Amino acid sequence: MEIISPISFIIGFLSEGRQKSLFQLAIAGAFLVHYVNRAIIYPYLNPSKSLSHVLVLLSAGCFNTANGSIQGKYLADTSINKISLVGCVLFIAGLAGNVYHDRLLFRLKRVSNGGYIIPKGALFDYVSYPNYFCEWIEWLGYVLLCQSNTLNDAPVVFLIALVATMSPRAYKGHLWYKKKFKEYPQSRKIVIPFIL
């Protein structure tokens, strides 16, 4: 269902009709790299065995269509500055961390033979959902890349929506881990190392 987002992003991005700068193309590339991983590679490496409810599919489809289109149309023609360079570093680090922690979970699924195992290693030693944390870092980097400076800018709204929808899932999952495993590390936080 997330494949809709890069498609609508490209349509929104190209609908503006003006010449795109190299910087705009780089930001567009960053957005598309994330969604190639999320919409194509991730489902291939981790096929879902459960069906999603039709309302989940419809709402996700609507969100991804709107978000992709809005993000594509939003990109401003800006020049590279120190903030955008910080954004680039955060985006790459967040994407790499997100992919890395997802792969750790995939390996656990393969060796568990349908059972559950406490994730360990890297940021899993500090939080239950490091892949979420890394995704938030990734999109914070995107906000800085786009040089968003108000709360109603499209990248900022997307980051807020992402944190708002992922936080309750992380909290619920963290409680599930603690209930399921008596030996679950009590010092492990939910999603932000040492804080939350």
pLDDT tens by residue, 101-128: 999 998 888 888 778 889 999 999 999 9
pLDDT of 167 over the 90 cut: yes
**Residue spans per domain, the chain:** 1-77, 80-196
Span 71-77, average pLDDT: 76
Closest to 68 measured CA to CA, from 99, 20, 31 = 31
pLDDT tens by residue, 5-36: 899 999 988 887 778 888 889 889 999 999 99
- Phi and psi dihedrals of 189, rounded to 5? -85, 180
pTM of the model: 0.86
Closest to 144 measured CA to CA, from 65, 101, 90, 84 = 84
Q: Which residue has the tokens 């910087």?
A: 23
- Phi and psi dihedrals of 127, rounded to 5? -140, 155
